């Protein structure tokens, strides 16, 4: 299956039937997510609720006892193996330290000029190796590489982590533009920034169940996630 970054129809990614257990403890169950091209979908939840594990199941790098990941109704087992289908930003830094910033963007087929347009300081960082950057700079480069690549769906785990407030705001603006041609799934502890850009939001509770939020702030308070 080969997908272009500019689909001529509204592609849909759906996830359900996920059962993930560790040592007889159910981490994920009763999960349902729908991510459509043209929208940003948020997933919130407390630490330990299984958000990162769910993202890894969707991307295809974590095995679950059961799962159903579908693109337009077609079952996908390992999304990362399909060209230009999914890109994933994990929580932890993942770019080898010896790679230069320009090499990272090239590896992900992420346009340098587009990155510089949104983040002009990237131009000065291009010749630097990843291990020469600060933690915030590394995170910014990783996030840019993933969101600007040709994938139809991007999965973002804590993209705002270690970023300056100005960078978070710029990233929010860019994601709002990118959703015109991509489906975006995002989680972050900066939940108000997530809510500000999302068309739909789900909460993953500690029982491993997703709840779609319609009255977002009120439900987050009622469910004990926000004060």
Q: Please enumerate in sequence order all residues whose Cβ is within 8 A of that of 161, keeping only pairs 6 or more positions apart, or say none.
A: 91, 139, 188, 189
Q: Answer yes or no: is 163 within a domain.
A: yes
Residue 5 pLDDT more than 80? Answer: no
In a domain, 20, yes or no: yes
Does 136 fall in a domain? no
**6-10, 49-53, 132-136, 183-187: the lowest-pLDDT one:** 6-10
Mean pLDDT over 22-44 rounds to: 92
Tokens of 11: 């592609």
Instruction: Say if 63 falls within a structural domain.
Output: yes
pLDDT band at 4 (very low <50, low <70, confident <90, very high): very low
pLDDT score of 23: 81
Look at the chain and report how many structural domains it folds into: 1
The CATH number that applies at residue 167 is: 3.40.50.300
The pTM for the full model equals 0.92
Residue 119 has pLDDT above 50, yes or no: yes
Q: CA-based Rg of the chain, rounded to a whole angstrom? A: 17
Residue 9 pLDDT grade (very low, low, confident, very high; cuts 50, 70, 90): low
Does residue 184 register a pLDDT over 80? yes
H helices of the chain, in order, are: 51-59, 101-107, 112-118, 122-125, 135-147, 165-178, 191-197, 216-222
User: CA separation (Å) from 226 to 97, 168, 195?
Assistant: 37, 20, 12
What is the residue range of 55's domain? Answer: 12-95+151-222
Residue showing tokens 């087929």: 109
């Amino acid at each position: 299956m080969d997908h272009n970054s500019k689909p001529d129809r509204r592609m849909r990614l759906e996830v359900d039937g996920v059962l993930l257990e560790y040592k007889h403890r159910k981490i994920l169950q009763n999960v349902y997510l729908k991510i459509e091209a043209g929208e940003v979908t948020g997933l919130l939840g407390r630490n330990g609720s299984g958000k990162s594990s769910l993202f890894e199941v969707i991307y295809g790098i974590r095995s679950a006892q059961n799962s159903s990941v579908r693109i337009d109704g077609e079952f996908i087992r390992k999304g990362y193996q399909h060209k230009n289908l999914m890109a994933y930003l994990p929580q932890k830094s993942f770019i080898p330290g010896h790679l230069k910033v320009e090499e990272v963007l090239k590896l992900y087929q992420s346009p340098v000029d587009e990155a510089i347009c949104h983040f002009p300081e990237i131009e000065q960082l291009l010749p630097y190796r990843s291990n020469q950057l600060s933690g915030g700079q590394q995170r910014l480069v990783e996030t840019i590489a993933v969101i600007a690549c040709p994938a139809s769906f991007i999965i973002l785990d804590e993209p705002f982590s270690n970023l300056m407030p100005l960078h978070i705001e710029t990233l929010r603006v860019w994601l709002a533009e990118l959703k015109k041609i991509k489906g975006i799934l995002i989680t972050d502890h900066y939940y108000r920034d997530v809510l500000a850009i999302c068309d739909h939001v789900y909460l993953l509770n500690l029982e491993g169940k997703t709840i779609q939020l319609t009255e977002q702030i009120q439900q987050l308070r009622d469910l004990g996630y926000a004060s």
